[in-house]
Amino acid sequence: MHPVDSKEIAFIIAGRNAFKEAFRNAGPKILEPIYNVDIFTPNEYVGPCMSDLNTRRGMIMNQDMEKGFTVLHARVPLAELYRYSTILSSLTGGSATFQMKFAEYVQVPADVQTKLLAEYAAQEEEED
C-alpha cells in the first residue's frame, strides 16, 4: 500500500479476484433444495403423474390409497417444480392437488452441475 498511488477500488478488485481463484481451486459442490411432495390424484391419473415426476428428477417414495384417490409421496428438486401446479392440472383435468414441504439440501448430479457451471461461465464472459 502506498497512500498516494493506492486506490480503494484496486484493493476491492484484488480481493474479489483472489476469492474467485481460491473458490475455483477449492472444488465447490452445488447444492439444491429437495422437497417432499404429496400428490392427491384420482386413481385413473396415477400413471401420468408418476411419469411426470420421473421426468422432473423426482423419486417416488411410496403411494397410499385414500377414498378413491391415490396419494403419491415423492422427493423432487425445487428447480423442477416450477409451474408444477399448472402441469398437474393439465395432466389430471384439474382433479389433482399437491402439497410440498422442504426436506433437505443435496448435491446436484454431475451433469446438472456441469451445465450450471457452463451457463455461469458464459454469463461471466458476457459481463467482461
Instruction: Give yes or no for a contact between 85 and 39, defined as CB atoms under 8 angstroms apart.
Output: no
Pick the closest to residue 57 from 41, 33, 30 (CA basis).
Answer: 33
- Give residue 42's pLDDT: 94
Average pLDDT, the chain: 90
CATH number of 31-107: 3.30.70.240
Site of grid cell 415423492:
74
- Give residue 2's pLDDT: 60
Q: Over range 25-53, report the average pLDDT.
A: 93
Q: What is the pTM of this model?
A: 0.75
- Give residue 126's pLDDT: 84
Q: Over range 34-61, report the average pLDDT.
A: 94
* Alpha carbon distance 108, 56 (integer Å): 13
- Give residue 1's pLDDT: 57
Residue 106 reports pLDDT greater than 90: yes
Residue 4 reports pLDDT greater than 70: no
For a pLDDT cut of 90, what percent of the chain falls above it?
61
- Give residue 99's pLDDT: 96
- Give residue 68's pLDDT: 84
- The region, left, alpha or beta by phi > 0 then psi within -120 to 50, assigned to residue 3 is alpha
DSSP letter for 45, please: G
Residue 64 reports pLDDT greater than 90: yes
